[in-house]
A and B are shown apart, each in its own frame.
Chain A
Amino acid sequence: MSRSTKKGPYVDERLWTRVKRQKATNNREPIKTWRRACTIIPDFVGHTFAVHNGKTFIRVFVTEEMVGHKLGEFAATRIFRGHTTRKSTAPGEGA
């Protein structure tokens, strides 16, 4: 279900002001943020964000193609390292 057009995209105000401030000072330091749900707007292009994934901050360099996506889409919250094989599982299985 997509968001109502009437409301427009969700962009976190404070995050946006920080981006604007960075733009003014030409500072491109990563912006630490927990706002995973914030939509990436054209203003964000070229900036780096450190997006929280629940544990650490993942660096996301925003490119033009990412516009319209949410910041959270680029910071995975789960790491899948493959299923455990039978041998390596069940410590004490035969005990």
Chain B
Amino acid sequence: MPRVSGVDIPVGKRVDVALTYIYGIGNVVAKQVLAELRIDPALRAKDLSDEQVSQLNQLIERKYVVEGQLRRQVMQNISRLKEIKCYRGFRHMRGLPCRGQRTRTNARTRKGPRKTVARKKSVKEL
């Protein structure tokens, strides 16, 4: 199985899809890379020649930030926001959305599963 960009071993899918298994490479970048190297995107990943694999490796390494390095970059950006104590930093610290979305309802991706609080007794029950 071909290895592109370190740990990634994309499967027997079309190369343009297989490349998207790399963190930091999506549909668009995958197609651009293949176009630049004149590799047919419909080719299966297992049918890539060793030469093509090494070409892919080289190109991706040269032009894009992927995998661990990209993850580190993202973390650094977030910790920078936390360090300078700006609004977005606070939102990250609290695990709330930081782009102005509503939090009265929704925002479950950031807030995680619902934590139900017991309902206040209504007047009728008393």
Contacting residues, chain A, for B126 (C-beta < 8 A): 94
Partner of B118, one of A63, A86, A90: A86
Chain A residues bordering chain B, tally (CB within 8 A):
14
Partner of A93, one of B87, B88, B120: B120
Residue-wise interface mask of B (81-96) relative to A, using a CB-CB cutoff of 8 A (1 in contact, 0 not): 0011111101000000
Contact A65 B83 (CB under 8 A): yes
Interchain pairs with CB closer than 8 A, number:
27
Question: For the complex, what is the distance from the CA of A65 to the CA of B117, rounded to whole Å?
Answer: 40
Q: A76-B90, A94-B126 are in contact. Are A63 and B120 (CB under 8 A)?
A: no
Q: A89-B120, A93-B120, A93-B121 are in contact. Are A63 and B90 (CB under 8 A)?
A: no
Binds B, one of A3-11, A15-23, A26-34, A66-74: A66-74
Question: For the complex, what is the distance from the CA of A24 to the CA of B42, rounded to whole Å?
Answer: 65
User: Does B80 reach chain A (CB closer than 8 Å)?
Assistant: yes
Q: A86-B118, A89-B120 are in contact. Are A66 and B87 (CB under 8 A)?
A: no
Residue-wise interface mask of A (41-79) relative to B, using a CB-CB cutoff of 8 A (1 in contact, 0 not): 000000000000000000000010110010011101000
Contacting residues, chain B, for A72 (C-beta < 8 A): 87
Residues of B within 8 A of A (CB): 80, 83-88, 90, 117-118, 120-121, 126
Residues of A within 8 A of B (CB): 63, 65-66, 69, 72-74, 76, 83, 86, 89-90, 93-94
Instruction: Beyond A74-B86, A93-B120, list 9 extra A-B contacts (CB 8 Å).
Output: A63-B84, A65-B80, A66-B84, A69-B84, A73-B88, A76-B90, A86-B118, A86-B120, A94-B126
